[in-house]
Chain A
């Protein structure tokens, strides 16, 4: 099956620093990747949609200058949380969409998530 990895799995940083999270599709090419944020005991909240080679599309209420997304290749997207603050502490999850040959299914394959803690 399609595998998506994230790195790091867990990061602790000081307030004011920037943190970069990588999302890779390991065995397929992903023209579209999604970034989600999940707070404890809540559902996933879509932050942005990232298409390879173009600017990301951010959901309403998500600051694009704070959450920088770069989708430089068909297998890699990065999310950088700039000037992180304690309220940015959350579980960040990426997904990659795989369009199967011969049809469109929009199936997403999710990474294992990155736990960010800002002190």
Chain B
């Protein structure tokens, strides 16, 4: 499975933008990049996904590098409710979408 690398933790101030990086240098040409986030004692929540082009939705934006070896999840205005563990994962084309979760980035939002 293609692996992803994320910083263990990041901090942000409330109402400021947050850029969460993810490296995936071994990504294959057909792997989608997915971002999920998980609050304590809850299942992960889908945030956004993309293949090659940058993506925007109501929750966040996803910026994908031209060589697809890295991506950045952008929260435009962090709120206290955005404090969570953020996971960047790749779908494995040869395993019908099986995905391996790394350790993720724990985002702390300070008021």
Task: List chain A positions with a Cβ less than 8 A from chain B.
Answer: 1, 4, 6, 32, 34, 36, 43-46, 49, 51, 91, 93, 95, 97, 105-113, 115
CB pair A43 B43 closer than 8 Å: no
Return chain B residues, CB-CB under 8 Å to A44: 44, 87, 101
Contact A108 B46, CB 8 Å, known A32-B96, A43-B102, A46-B101: yes
CB pair B104 A113 closer than 8 Å: no
CB pair A112 B43 closer than 8 Å: yes
Which one, A4, A51, A108, A111, contacts B99 given CB within 8 A?
Answer: A108
CB pair A106 B43 closer than 8 Å: no
Interface status of B97 (Cβ within 8 A of chain A) = yes
In addition to A97-B97, A112-B43, 19 A-B residue pairs with Cβ atoms within 8 Å of each other are A1-B46, A36-B101, A43-B102, A43-B104, A44-B44, A45-B101, A46-B101, A93-B43, A95-B43, A105-B49, A106-B34, A107-B49, A108-B46, A109-B46, A110-B45, A110-B46, A113-B41, A113-B43, A115-B41
Contact A93 B104, CB 8 Å, known A105-B32, A106-B34, A110-B36: no
Q: How far is it, in angstroms, between the C-alpha of A43 and the C-alpha of B5 when the chains are bound?
A: 13
CB pair A43 B103 closer than 8 Å: yes
Interface status of B91 (Cβ within 8 A of chain A) = yes
Q: How far is it, in angstroms, between the C-alpha of A51 and the C-alpha of B32 when the chains are bound?
A: 20
Contact A106 B44, CB 8 Å, known A43-B103, A97-B97: no
